[in-house]
């Protein structure tokens, strides 16, 4: 499972002009599910995102996680995180999980963050989305449950 995590001052997802998810300060999480991902990958990503200390404390050091600052998550499904362009210029997506299974894994991750008490807004799986995010910092973190980076 892969995630691109951005610390934001606000974020919003729209589908067909309608807002499906909106947050103020927090994290936008672009989440991709790989073909070989299992429940252990969900646990890894959920814990890493929830525990990322990317918010400043009173001394200006990045020591606080999203819950500590009262922030929220905006979780956007994004299978293109598994796009492979090592050959040619057109991405190959054969390492991404099939849509029905990936949707279940995505929903399980969202449910796990909510079970931790986090406020979670979402995009729409398999929809064409418009995402607005104001990256604060900028801070962008890459996560891979198989620890490839």
H or E stretch including 21? strand 18-23
H or E stretch including 4? strand 2-15
Q: What is the pLDDT of residue 149?
A: 85
Alpha-carbon Rg of the chain, whole angstroms?
15
Residue 149 lies in a domain: no
* Domains in the chain, number: 1
- Residue-averaged pLDDT of the chain: 97
Mean local confidence (pLDDT), 111-130: 98
Is the pLDDT score of 87 beyond 90? yes
pLDDT digits (tens, 9 = 90+) for 3-40: 999 999 999 999 999 999 999 999 999 999 999 999 99
Q: What is the CATH number of the domain that holds 122?
A: 3.50.80.10
Domain of 85 in residue numbering reads as 2-144
Mean local confidence (pLDDT), 83-103: 96
pLDDT digits (tens, 9 = 90+) for 31-50: 999 999 999 999 999 999 99
Mean local confidence (pLDDT), 129-138: 98
């Amino acid at each position: 499972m892969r995630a691109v995590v951005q610390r934001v001052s606000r974020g919003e997802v729209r589908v067909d002009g309608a807002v499906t998810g909106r947050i103020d300060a927090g994290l936008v999480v672009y989440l991709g599910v790989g073909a070989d991902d299992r429940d252990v990958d969900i646990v890894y990503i959920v814990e890493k995102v929830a525990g990322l200390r990317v918010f400043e404390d009173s001394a200006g050091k990045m020591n606080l996680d999203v819950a500590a600052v009262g922030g929220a998550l905006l979780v956007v499904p994004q299978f293109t995180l598994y796009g492979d362009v090592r050959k040619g210029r057109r991405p190959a997506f054969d390492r991404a999980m099939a849509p029905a299974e990936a949707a279940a894994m995505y929903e399980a991750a969202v449910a796990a963050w909510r079970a931790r008490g986090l406020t979670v807004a979402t995009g729409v799986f398999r929809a064409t989305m418009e995402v607005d995010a104001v990256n604060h910092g900028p801070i962008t973190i890459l996560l891979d449950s198989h620890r490839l980076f």
